[in-house]
A and B are shown apart, each in its own frame.
Chain A
Amino acid sequence: QSALTQPASVSGSPGQSITISCTGTSSDVGGYNYVSWYQQHPGKAPKLMIYEVSNRPSGVSNRFSGSKSGNTASLTISGLQAEDEADYYCSSYTSSSTRVFGTGTKVTVL
């Protein structure tokens, strides 16, 4: 199985909004609403930020939102803050009952 495709890097100034894309196929992202997003700071374990495409776990800021269109899911961070600087990964359930992660996106706050 191939990793989901994400841009290597995205940057924005404080207060701005940025969007990270996650492109898969009809056998993963496009076929199921089981896309989740994870934030990872250096040296730390990933943290769940979005699940089932657009749901936020308790405790995650409402500045984080998710959506999906066809085979591409997206994570939007609004009101960008310095603490949002991290790596972000998408993940999807697949038709083979396996899981696949995205290639990862480094978010830089300018």
Chain B
Amino acid sequence: QLQLQESGSGLVKPSQTLSLTCAVSGGSISSGGYSWSWIRQPPGKGLEWIGYIYHSGSTYYNPSLKSRVTISVDRSKNQFSLKLSSVTAADTAVYYCAREHPTWLFDYWGQGTLVTVSS
């Protein structure tokens, strides 16, 4: 059974960079056809797609976040990462990592990790 687990700093100061990692177990992150995504949910609000990295290494980002987001993969550690720069309070959210199936559905999710932006 595939499992995803987010980790990283739960508190980030304004203007700094948010960094999260998603460890994948029970399967290979290099499996063909899958994409690895980040999705966030501000407290009490809806889901927002952040971006994904394809198994080939190609990346696609939400246009509203594109200038601040970087998603990368470390195949040797079977994990992928999110960096979001110049954060503000508006970036406070529960951040989820998820696997996206080749037919564009999110079939496995991490439990989510709350990141608070505050000085």
Contact = CB atoms under 8 A, between A and B. Distances in A.
Given A45-B112, A46-B109, A99 B46 contact: no
A28 to B, nearest CB: 11
Nearest to A93: B104
B16 interface: no
Secondary structure dominating the interface of B: strand
Contacts of A91: 47, 49, 105-106
Interface size class of A (residues with CB under 8 A): 20 to 34
Contacts of A101: 39, 46-49
Contact of A46 (B47, B48, B64): B47
Contacts of B32: none
Contacts of B112: 45
Given A1-B62, A48-B107, A91-B105, 11 more contacts: A3-B48, A36-B104, A40-B47, A46-B106, A46-B109, A57-B107, A91-B47, A93-B104, A96-B63, A99-B100, A101-B46
